[in-house]
Amino acid sequence: MKLFEISYEVCNKVGGIYTVLKTKAPYIVEHYGRENYMMLGFYNPKSAIAEFDEKEPDPELSKIFAGLKNKGIECHYGEWLINGYPQVILLDIKNFWKEKDKIKTLIWKFYGVDSLFSSYEFDEPLLWGFACGVLIENLMKDMKDFDLTRPKIAHFHEWLSGAGLLYLKMQNLPVATVFTTHATIIGRTIANSGIDLYSKIYDGLSKALTFPVEESKKFGIADKHTMEIASATNADVFSTVSKVTGKEAEYFLHKKPDIILPNGIDIEQGITIDEITIRRRENRKIMRSFLNAYFLRYYNINTNRIRSIFISGRYEFRNKGIDLFIKVLGNLNRKLKEAKEKNDQLNFDSVIAFLFIPSDVKGENLRVMRNVMIYENIEGIVDNEIFNIKNRVVTDIVSGKINKTSSKGNGYENFFSNEFTKACRDIFAHFDELKGQNPPVSAFDLRSENDEILKSLKAENLENKEEDIVKVINYPVYLSPRDMFINLDYNHTISAYDMGVFPSYYEPWGYTPLEAAKYGVITITTDLSGFGNFIEKKDGGGIYVISRKGKEDNEVVENLTKKILEILNFSDDERVKARMRARELATFCNWKILVNNYFEAHRIATEKMAMEKMNK
């Protein structure tokens, strides 16, 4: 069996599909064999330089590539620098644009894809997808090792690759096709517009209705929507990543999925909860240092008595539940302040909430940068003095000096050096100058003066005042070991937190809660996310699924606040058990298990194609 897997995100990180492909590939290679698996992707030089190892193709492949280059399709052969090192061909279509109108005419004529008023955002994937179909056709016709008696499968991801699938069908090639939609373009658009998406879907399906194709024109996405419908309709096997998205596809794409392909994750085998705990402890030290730098110039905060929570994901304010998260923080702050006024006993002093939502930034907040530099200077001075004290004490012990007594003492009455004491006085003068002010709510300066996150934080009176129990830090950049402040990558950073909160409204799958659980972080998600729907029946704590389906936002805010308060007040033993359970539940999404759904989809597709061949 020969498998082609086609996606815009092969060696090209754009969104969650990149994670699907990257983490799944080693298991596909193991099952089919590296020689029988070829990934086709879009050639993006900036991404390719870091992820793609280009190699010289063999003479047979070189000949095919030369022929395609004459048509305007330039192919780059190599391997993806990930586990399994799958074979990859990246297609550069910059010289293929002359074929645009011809291709548009064909897909309209044969499949009703309405691209009359399409833009570059549609046209580029159209040309690339079509070029992938042409490449597969040429590989099948001209390569000797393509035994025509062996099944061939082409697995296409998202509407961006759909033109390739339609080309194969147009040419009536003996290739079984699978099409996976990870999220419908119309569903995501409607959800983000504020329309009640789920009432629309479930009310429509209950009346045996489907979404009128013409309505997609109102949202300016008729081209993408009709491409998605054509791909789902003409694939031998149509799949989605969750039951939630399956219902969405049934209504918007007019077709039920033939199979569900849940997204998996690469669980590190052999790693114990003790090892996760050690990693967590090390990363929490780094986080405490950053929090000390962030807050201590303004007021005292005991970072040994905090609870930390976070949200992360793309900047889709409503879809990702960022709006709800901020409302919950405001509600939580009010309730905790009331509890403190009543002298209710809390086992923490503060809740620090981070928002890891990448946005367009000017750069680091200069005040935060200065705070971090001063704090690091203090740590450096103290570390140096500790080193000097250690040497002094050890030398005095081995020389016997520390045991000698005299009327003048043994020299330890003034334990610190004069240089250290002077440095402390000098630096404190700078460190203390911001006392009484409020720390910034964002660690980075944003380009937009009308940012929804900052506006919403202000509306909830979350301004990092000393009396606030809930304090917030907006961290709108991709986490990196070189980001100036935290200096950890995403996975190491989130492992330091007590809780991840992902109250999504529109989330076809949801890698962020799954990734948090993988690292033993207590996680909250919703029943409107594919992952939440998948894990909901596996109770026992660790991952908590809040109901959003059919509920008003105010009710969800109250229920979510209540659940967060409950977790914040866990005993040490309860927290440990919940973290262990979160990690345990994450293993249900191990690719070792879930990749079998892909093999089943491929089997169904080849059998369907064989049956159609027999019936002709």
Beta bridge partners of 74: 92
Distances (CA, A) of 512 to 107, 437, 517: 36, 34, 9
Task: Please name every residue paired with 87 in a beta bridge, in sequence order, or none if there are none.
Answer: 38, 79
Distance CA 98, CA 127 (A): 10
Cα 299 to Cα 466: distance, rounded to the nearest angstrom = 7
Residue 59: enclosing H or E segment and its boundaries?
helix 59-70
Query: For residue 407, what pLDDT is reported?
Result: 45
pLDDT at 418: 77
By residue count, the chain amounts to 616
For 524, list phi and psi in degrees, rounded to 5. -120, 130
Q: What was the pLDDT predicted at 613? A: 78
Q: Checking DSSP bridges between strand 522-526 and strand 543-546, what pairing results, if any?
A: parallel
Q: How far apart are CA 160 and CA 338, in angstroms?
A: 52
- Using alpha carbons, list the distances in angstroms from residue 239 to 74, 181, 204, 263, 524: 30, 7, 21, 12, 27
- Under CATH, what is the fold of the domain 2-266+593-615? Rossmann fold (3.40.50)
Nearest residue to 163 (alpha-carbon basis) of 135, 138, 126, 121? 126
Q: For domain 273-364+440-589, give the CATH number.
A: 3.40.50.2000
- At position 224, the amino acid (one-letter code) is K
Specify the DSSP class assigned to residue 265. Answer: B
* β-pair type (152-157, 87-92): unpaired
pLDDT at 486 over 90: yes
Domain ranges of the chain: 2-266+593-615, 273-364+440-589, 368-434
**3-class DSSP state for residue 525?**
strand
d(CA 8, CA 128): 9
Residue 176, both tokens = 């079984």
Instruction: Retrieve residue 212's tokens.
Output: 């009128």
**What distance in Å separates the CA atoms of residue 594 and residue 409, rounded to the nearest whole number?**
72
β-partners of residue 309 are 353, 499
Which ranges of 439-571 would DSSP assign to H, the alpha helix? 452-459, 490-494, 511-518, 530-535, 553-568
Q: Look up residue 541 and give its two tokens.
A: 């704590």
Q: Hey, what amino acid is at 290?
A: F
Poorest-pLDDT segment among 324-328, 338-342, 378-382, 529-533:
378-382
**Mean pLDDT throughout 465-489?**
94
Q: Is the dihedral of CA 371, 373, 377, 383 positive or negative?
A: positive
Least confident stretch, 7-11, 114-118, 142-146, 434-438: 142-146
Structural contact between residues 533 and 527, judged by C-beta atoms closer than 8 angstroms? yes
Residue 396, helix vs strand vs coil: helix
How far from each other are the two terminal CA atoms of the chain, in whole angstroms? 23
What values do phi and psi take at 307, rounded to 5?
A: -120, 140
pLDDT digits (tens, 9 = 90+) for 245-304: 999 999 999 999 999 999 999 887 556 777 888 999 999 999 999 999 999 999 999 999
Task: Check: CB of residue 513 under 8 Å from CB of residue 572.
Answer: no
Q: How far apart are CA 73 and CA 70, in angstroms?
A: 7
**Confidence (pLDDT) at 537:** 81
- Amino acid in position 125: P
- Tokens 């690759």 belong to which residue? 161
Closest Cα to residue 521, out of 443, 593, 460, 575? 575
pLDDT digits (tens, 9 = 90+) for 536-581: 888 779 999 999 999 999 999 999 999 999 999 999 999 999 999 9
- The whole-angstrom separation of Cα 179 and Cα 614 is 23
Pick the residue with more confidence: 252 or 381? Answer: 252
- Asked if pLDDT for residue 428 goes beyond 80, the answer is no
Letter string b/e over residues 136-161, b meaning 16 or more CB atoms within 10 A of that residue's CB: bbbbbeeeeeeeeeebbbbbbbbbbb
Asked if residues 118 and 223 have their Cβ atoms less than 8 Å apart, the reply is yes
Range scoring the smallest mean pLDDT among 296-305, 330-339, 381-390? 381-390
Q: Tokens 């003492």 map to which residue?
A: 409
Report residue 578 as tokens.
């919940």
CB 92 within 8 Å of CB 76: yes
- Facing residues of 529 across strands? 507
Instruction: State mean pLDDT over 123-140.
Output: 97
Measured in whole angstroms, the distance separating CA 294 from the mean position of its chain's CA atoms is 26
Contact (CB, 8 A) for 581 and 573: no
pTM: 0.91
pLDDT at 405 over 60: no
Residue with tokens 């960022």: 322
In tens, the pLDDT along 16-35 reads 899 999 999 999 999 999 99
Averaged pLDDT of the chain: 92
What distance in Å separates the CA atoms of residue 449 and residue 455, rounded to the nearest whole number? Answer: 9
Across 149-178, average pLDDT: 94
